[in-house]
């Protein structure tokens, strides 16, 4: 958490006559949107209105969240976003550890006069005016809840805030399955339920909305899943033309990588996907136990994240990327 002195300084910054902006990362996920909207709704207890900004569009299955449609998407509204950042007094940076994770917004925020406050659970954060970084916590939404506790408003948050924070914790813990999910996490979830978050409705709104095209795309990927390294590593992949054939929409492949870990005996799963617009391979890694895919991705695939969940990229073709990955994982100490 922030130091006592930092908290006192932050509290003085949070005033209803201040322009508050909340920004999250490129390709926003449930934790990014949930933490941003959860904080926005909670700040109203202090009579503060905040503007939420994301670099690009986010999946439809997250747009049910209260006021999600009011989020400013920089790709679509650059002028309005630029003005909001330029005029901001305080910018909350949620669920990313470096300004490079937010594309061109990083340059704008770097030049802005606003005080920058980082709340994030990824490793190796950059310097901001104030930093709350804790890699042991499973979701930025949980960190936002702890921050609200220090502001003495966590117990008063609205149903809307509770729903958003619940969603982010649920999605970033894989439905409360990942090992970083603690007793404290569950106590917070219980508090959010008491504030009106409905687990059945939230999980249904977020996960039970598959299109036929998405299920057919999933069937294609799972139909050719490959297991290497004596069954310890699962590999899934997808080409651009295949995504186009099935009417790809943002978020359509979310969660595909997790299916590799459901195979008995696997310790690591990797999903390789040609970017739908640019010429590179987007990679998602998931792992169990002490298999550090964060360091693996940093070492070999220009990425990073958490010990058991990370992302990366490759400039090679998908065929060459898969060959390189297979060669790496067959080495005895490939994670080092």
What is the residue extent of each domain of the chain? 4-207, 212-329
Q: Which H or E run includes 141?
A: helix 140-150
Say which CATH topology domain 212-329 has. Diaminopimelate Epimerase; Chain A, domain 1 (3.10.310)
Q: Which CATH class is domain 4-207?
A: alpha beta
Q: What pLDDT is recorded for position 306? A: 87
**pLDDT value for 108:** 96
Per-residue confidence (pLDDT) for residue 83, from 0 to 100: 97
- pLDDT of res. 124: 87
Q: 8 is written with which tokens?
A: 């006192």
Question: Rounded to two decimals, what is the model's pTM?
Answer: 0.91
Q: How many helices (H) and strands (E) does the chain have?
A: 13, 12
pLDDT number for residue 123: 85
Residues of the chain with pLDDT under 50: none
Residue 116: predicted pLDDT = 98
* Residue 178: predicted pLDDT: 86
Q: What are the CA-CA distances from residue 87 to residues 81, 82, 105 (Å)?
A: 10, 9, 14
Tens of pLDDT, residues 2-18: 999 999 999 999 999 99
Which one, of 153, 152, 188, 151, lies nearest residue 173 by Cα? 188
Question: Residue 81 and residue 330: Cα distance in Å, rounded?
Answer: 47
Distance CA 253, CA 282 (A): 11
pLDDT tens digit sequence for 232-283: 999 999 999 999 999 888 889 999 999 999 999 999 999 999 998 889 999 9
pLDDT for the residue 286:
95
Tell me the backbone φ, ψ of residue 102, rounded to 5 degrees.
-120, 25
DSSP 226-286: EEETTTTEEEEEE-HHHHHHTT--TTTTTTTTHHHHTSTT--EEEEEEE-SSSSSEEEEEE
């Amino acid at each position: 958490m922030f130091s006592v002195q930092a908290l006192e300084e932050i509290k003085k910054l949070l005033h209803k006559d201040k322009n508050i902006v909340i920004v999250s990362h490129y390709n926003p996920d449930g934790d990014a949107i949930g933490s941003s909207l959860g904080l926005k709704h909670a700040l109203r207890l202090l009579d503060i209105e905040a503007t939420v900004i994301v670099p690009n569009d986010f999946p439809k299955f997250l747009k049910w969240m209260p006021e999600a449609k009011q989020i400013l998407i920089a790709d679509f509204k650059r002028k309005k976003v630029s003005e909001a950042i330029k005029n901001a007094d305080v910018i909350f940076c949620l669920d990313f550890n470096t300004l490079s994770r937010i594309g061109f917004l990083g340059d704008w925020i770097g030049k802005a006069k606003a005080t920058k406050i980082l709340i994030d659970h990824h490793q190796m954060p950059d310097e901001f005016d104030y930093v709350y970084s804790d890699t042991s916590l499973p979701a930025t939404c949980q960190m936002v809840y702890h921050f609200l506790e220090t502001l003495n408003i966590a117990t008063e948050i609205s149903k809307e805030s509770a729903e958003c924070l619940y969603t982010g914790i649920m999605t970033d813990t894989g439905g409360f399955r990942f090992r970083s999910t603690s007793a404290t996490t569950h106590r917070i979830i219980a508090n959010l339920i008491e504030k009106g978050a409905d687990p059945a409705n939230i999980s249904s709104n977020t996960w039970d909305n598959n299109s036929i095209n998405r299920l057919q795309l999933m069937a294609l990927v799972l139909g050719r899943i490959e297991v290497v390294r004596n069954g310890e590593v699962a590999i899934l992949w997808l080409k651009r033309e295949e995504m186009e054939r099935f009417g790809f929409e943002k978020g359509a492949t979310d969660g595909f990588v997790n299916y590799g870990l459901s195979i008995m005996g696997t310790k690591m799963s990797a999903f390789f996907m040609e970017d739908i617009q640019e010429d590179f391979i987007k990679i998602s890694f998931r792992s169990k136990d002490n298999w550090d895919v964060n360091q693996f991705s940093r070492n070999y695939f220009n990425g990073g994240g958490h010990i058991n969940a990370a992302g990366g990229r490759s400039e090679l073709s998908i065929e060459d990327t898969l060959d390189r990955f297979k060669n790496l994982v067959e080495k005895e100490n490939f994670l080092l």
